[in-house]
Amino acid sequence: MSEHQLKALFSSEGLLRQMLPAFRARPGQIEFAQTISTSLTQSADLVIEAETGIGKSLGYLIPVLLSNKRVLISTYTKLLQDQIFYEDLSIALRVLASAKKVVVLKGRRNYLCPFKFGQLFDSPSMRFPADTLAEVSEIKTWSTRTHTGDLSELETLSSSLTPMITATAEECQKQRCPRFDQCPLYTAREKADRADVVIVNHQLLMSRYENPSDDLVDLIDQMDVQLIDEADQFLRRLRETKQIAFSFRWMQELATILDRSNADPNQYDAVLGEWATSLVREKERIESGYESVVGRSFSEPMVKAMVLGQIDELELLLARLLSVLASRSGLGKILRDAHQNLAWRMDQLLAIAADVEADAQSYWWERDAGGGAVFRSMVSAKDVTTASVLKTSAPKIFVSATLSVNGSFKFICQQIGYDPSKAIKVANAFAYSKQVMGFQTTRQLLPDDPAFIPALLEDLKALSALKTLFLFTSHRALANAASYLRSAHSGKLFVQGDSSRQRLVQDFKKASDGFLLGTSSFWQGIDFNGAGVECLVIDKLPFLQPDDPKLLAQRKAFQAAGLDFFSDYILPDCALKLRQGFGRLIRKERDQGIFVIGDPRFWNASYSGLLQASLPEFRWTRRAADALDFMDKTR
């Protein structure tokens, strides 16, 4: 399709307008679509910033469907992945009457493993609480009617149950599995092999670059083009790549396996029964022991001594279990596999101990999504950029609403080896000077002051009539704010953690007023279009902590290159995140809103000029009456 024809398609009289009554022609969307089309035609790399409100999903999907290229599309979250597939893509396919094959592909943990799920029913029922048994029954009913095996189709799924019904790469038997022909994961991968367009999320695409031996590599690299949406998030993850070095979740899984092998009461093995109980108890003991050192580097003498002591104790315990399993390996495949897996876990554990003792890598401890203990380690960075990692045969189109810092693409482009002068910025038609007013609070306490959150919320009482989205930089600040508002605010509260992110946003959209409180996962990757946000509050500048052990390798790389880690990395990263957060406020041309940032460093720090310049220009006030008048609200 020529540029003229593509422009006509997106015009006010074009096919999109004819088929979608709510569609509005946007010059920025037309420019964006034409640029994407040119890049696809020429199979050329591209960095393009398309500001919020342009309509970038349809802007790239239509050129992708019209091209003769096989395209991999990667986006930030599984939620956005589904949104693109079930909403935006269905519109594009209908408008173009396209017959192209498009599939969604997710990671292993998103698909039911029929083999492991089938084995669950051999476990003694008494080992599972009644609510877990009820959930297993619901999953079994769902498994008979699902066409995808995608666990996101389930309304709820307990984090403790997920590892019991999904398979890790180590557990997966692939073609050797007796249920391979029923495997949802490999069915999805087979469809992806034949598809014209494959939609993945960044976590899945990351696995291609983190693990060159993964069987995803061939599937991803055979695509003609990779279009990476929300590219700033992908690049952040890539430059701060961390790998799970050791999770203790497998101890619970091993306990379940031992129970399963003990299912027949006529052949009950009391020793295995005791070990199943001991493993669960030991896992809980280990996890509770690390609370005092969360986020701290294992290189600290006190932390190192504690970690090495824990590993020594666990090694002695597991060596005894290894001997027990070795003596029973002739009793069946389940115990043979358990013995082999335990030996592999012990090798991992000993390797970590050697690394910690020699300070060979930067390790720390944190809780995983299921609340369990995880040792993590930073992958060593050899240089400042990730360009060498991204050098595959497929050209890449990097797309996001936030790729530039104060008008410059240098920060992003240096990471991917791209010429910043060739990066393209497509501006939207928002009139921020008319659509936004900033409100500057009076009590300018620093964020580390214990009274910071209560003081900020007191200053915002006068704006309580506004439907407000609060974005916090930490779970602790969110918890403090939620506690304060529950006692001091009589309106509706929607708090992260009370229900799923998707449900919270849906309920917030339906409400005519109220406060929604969220942390980092709400800054980007969730569609607030139509939510009617009237006020956006950011508590604190979203700085990474320079002394965070997760950033140790990156900091060393910058220092080795003669760069300043704060001004060349921490500060531009903060500016991008601030822009992302601000982008939650104005989603349409008719939206209006009040913007608040509680951190006084935005105004008086030596670097405040760069942060202020990263946001659009709009008027600020210290008077709540001005803000309410701007929003046409009465007190």
Which pLDDT band, with edges at 50, 70 and 90, does 398 fall under?
A: very high
Q: Give the percent of the chain with pLDDT over 90.
A: 43
Q: What is the pLDDT of residue 126?
A: 45
How confident is the prediction for the chain on average, in pLDDT? 86
Alpha carbon dihedral 611, 614, 619, 624, in 10-degree steps, equals -50
Determine the average pLDDT of the residues in 369-379.
65
Q: How many helices (H) and strands (E) does the chain have?
A: 29, 17
pLDDT of residue 426: 93
Maximum mean pLDDT: which of 13-22, 233-242, 243-252, 361-370: 13-22
Q: Which string of b and e fits 211-232 if b means at least 16 CB within 10 Å?
A: eeeeebeebbeebbbbbbbbbb
pLDDT at 384: 46
Helix (H) or strand (E) holding 324: helix 301-327
Residue-level pLDDT at 614: 92
What angle in degrees, to the nearest 10, is found between the helix axes of 231-239 and 571-582?
150
At 368 the pLDDT is 66
Backbone Cα Rg of the chain: 26
**Distance between CA atoms of 154 and 146, rounded to whole angstroms?**
10
DSSP secondary structure code for residue 152 in this structure: G
Kindly report, residue by residue over 268-318, the tens digit of the pLDDT.
Answer: 888 988 998 999 898 888 888 777 777 677 888 888 888 888 888 888 899
pLDDT at 258: 84
Q: Residue 561 burial by CB count (10 A; 0-12/13-18/19+): exposed, middle or buried?
A: exposed
112 neighbors 166 (Cβ within 8 angstroms): yes
- Strand ordering across the sheet containing 373-378: 242-247, 373-378, 363-367
> Exposed e or buried b for every residue in 107-127, given b needs 16+ CB within 10 A?
bbbbbbbbbbbebbeebeeeb
Task: Quote the strand ranges of 210-320, DSSP E.
Answer: 225-228, 242-247
This model's pTM is above 0.85: no
Res. 201: pLDDT tops 60: yes
Contact criterion met (CB below 8 Å) for 341 and 170: yes
pLDDT at 123 over 60: no
Confidence (pLDDT) at 184: 95
Q: Which residue has the tokens 């919320």?
A: 457
Would you say 474 and 520 are in contact if contact means Cβ atoms under 8 Å apart?
Answer: no
pLDDT score of 379: 55
Q: Are strands 468-471 and 535-538 parallel, antiparallel or unpaired?
A: parallel
Asked whether 338 and 254 are in contact (CB, 8 A), the reply is yes
Q: Say how far apart CA 421 and CA 187 lie, in whole Å.
A: 43
C-alpha distances (whole Å) from 418 to each of 397, 504, 614 are 11, 39, 21
Per-residue model confidence (pLDDT) at position 23: 86
> What integer pLDDT is reported at residue 389 of this predicted model?
60
User: Helices 89-96 and 56-66 sit at what angle, rounded to 10 degrees?
Assistant: 50
Using the predicted structure, report yes or no on whether residue 157 has a pLDDT greater than 70.
yes
Using CA atoms, how far apart are residues 593 and 585, in angstroms rounded to an integer?
6
What strands, in cross-sheet order, belong to the sheet with 535-538?
493-495, 515-518, 468-471, 535-538, 593-597, 436-439, 619-621
Residues 210-251: tens digit of each pLDDT: 666 567 788 888 899 999 999 998 888 776 655 556 778 888
Which residues, listed in sequence order, are joined to residue 104 by a DSSP beta bridge? Answer: 199
Question: DSSP strand E in 71-145: where?
Answer: 71-75, 102-104
pLDDT at residue 125 is higher than 50: no
pLDDT over 80 at 359, yes or no:
no
* Cα–Cα distance measured from residue 557 to residue 382, given in angstroms and rounded to the nearest whole number: 6
Highest mean pLDDT among 120-129, 340-349, 520-529: 340-349
pLDDT band at 574 (very low <50, low <70, confident <90, very high): very high
Residue 195, pLDDT above cutoff 80: yes
Question: Per-residue pLDDT averaged across 585-613, rounded?
Answer: 93
pLDDT of res. 218: 82
Cα(36)–Cα(179) distance, rounded to whole angstroms? 42
Contacts of 301 (CB under 8 A, 6+ apart): none
Q: Look at 79 and 371; give whichever has higher pLDDT.
A: 79
Query: Among 191, 132, 193, which Cα is nearest to 159's?
Result: 132
Cα(353)–Cα(38) distance, integer angstroms: 52
3 state DSSP class of 182 = helix
For 607, counting Cβ atoms within 10 Å of its Cβ (0-12 exposed, 13-18 middle, 19+ buried), the class is middle
Residue range 336-359: mean pLDDT, rounded: 83
DSSP strand pairing (373-378 vs 363-367): antiparallel
**pLDDT attached to residue 210:** 66
User: Is the pLDDT at 407 greater than 60, yes or no?
Assistant: yes
Least confident of 224-238, 245-259, 468-482, 618-632: 245-259
**What pLDDT does 410 receive?**
92
